[in-house]
Chain A
Amino acid sequence: MTGKYQKVAYYPGCALEGTGHAYNRSTKAVGKKLGLDLVELKNWNCCGAMEVKNIDPKLQTYLSARNLSIADDMGFDTVMAPCNGCYHNLKKAEYDLANDEPSREVNERLSSKAGHATYESGKVETIHALDWIKHSIGEEGIRQRVKNSLKGLKVANYYGCMYTRPRHIFPEKDKGPGTESTSKPHFMDEILAAAGAENVDYPLKTACCGGAHALSDSDTSTKLVLNLLTTAEACGADVIATECPTCHTGLEMHQVRAEKVLGRKTSVKILYFTQLLGMALGLKPKAVGVQENFSDAMPLIREKGLA
């Protein structure tokens, strides 16, 4: 245990209250099991996601900054966002407020109009759920707590896009040993390896899944996802581990669609890394929301002795 991030502000974001509910459940369950405190932001709002960002990026900066302001008001210097979209947007807001005067002006004006303190960059650090586990408990801490090893489970770790791109909003990454890499991220690999998983060398761990176009251009997304799934299978993976609700939903949804529309069936399962870690720590599949997933991983979970 490193002692960092034992108690942090928690920003679940919209997706984790909807399609990504299993991620919310498993993140909280893992935190509780590990003795880590998550305190949800009071009256949090949308981070601006892609809808607002694409139309009015400065408004997105404000929306994310308001969440950071709430964390600051609650006395936290760290906020943890498990969703890649939220994590990315809070980091982007932090970058914009530190480097872009017009963004600062809009944030100040809207904060004043809304009647809350204006967030100033540098006061609150945004971390992902992977940073949270990696730096609070660490691999050795996980190894000591494993009750049901993931031994024999071959995992392709899929990080998606927003965890590492664009690089300039993640100044803490690419700083050498112990830090995350934007070109070949590895925190999830390390966490799950500590839980006993056998990671496969997955060459598409940050490749595009077409997530934002899942509904508007389904065929493109289905083809991209199908290639992600077949490549994971070619790597020998039983499971694709995810750390983003958009990626997770896209992989599940288009796995079904690929079979229906393209006649291409794939059998690799899709689970949040927090679900895998939770089961390794001794939590029941239901406690980490496996039944909420679209992809039925229960037969595999039973086969591997995790249920």
Chain B
Amino acid sequence: MSGAALLSIDDVQQRADAIVAMTDDALSRDATALADELLELGEAVLLAWLASKGRAPADGEVEGFRLLALHRQGAKGDPSFNACRETCREVVYHRNLILHDPASPDVARTLRLGAMVVAHLALFIGGKLQEAGLGEFCCSSRPVRQPETLNPIAESA
């Protein structure tokens, strides 16, 4: 994790938009670095969420990715957070596609799509910071899941 940890959700949004707007040449030239940056931008969004809850971010990894560990941590106590689970996995997938073949003719397109997925993550988490119930529609099944969840108050104490 690099300086992306210091980015706000708005910063992430702007950076994702900037990546989408880059030329094919610029994207292809720095493909590997930009692919890693996608991960960092995703992590920055989840770190902003955890910070807003007063929770210390986990250092570990899930399936080799801190982004997925941070998502798992963010979802504890809030099933509706799972509405961005696949979005996080798509960020990882796009990053891996680029690293697998940085010289692929599709690399610029893949980077742009990856940045749009990051933008969606930022929009969703940014939306949840304003309206906690975002995502409740699908993912919450609280009566069943309640015993599995952590008590955020107890956790932060």
Contacts and interface: CB of A to CB of B under 8 A. Distances in A.
A213 B131 contact: yes
Say whether chain A's binding surface is mostly helix, strand, loop, or mixed. Answer: helix
B131 A161 contact: no
A103 B113 contact: no
Contact of B143 (A100, A160, A204, A220): A100
Taking residues whose C-beta sits less than 8 angstroms from the other chain, chain A's interface range is 35 or more
A213 B133 contact: yes
A99 B144 contact: yes
Interface string B73-110: 00000010011111101100110000000000000010
Contacts, number: 118
Interface string A89-104: 0001001100110110
A231 B91 CA distance: 14
Contacts of A204: 87, 90, 116-117, 120
A217 B130 contact: yes
A230 B83 contact: no
Interface string B9-47: 000000000001000000000000000000000000000
Interface in A194-208: 203-204, 206-208
Contacts of A212: 133-134, 136-137
B142 interface: yes
Nearest to B112: A234
Contacts of A169: 141
Contacts of A58: 143
Contacts of B130: 217, 220
B138 interface: yes
Given A203-B94, A220-B126, A224-B120, 6 more contacts: A57-B142, A57-B143, A85-B137, A88-B138, A208-B87, A212-B133
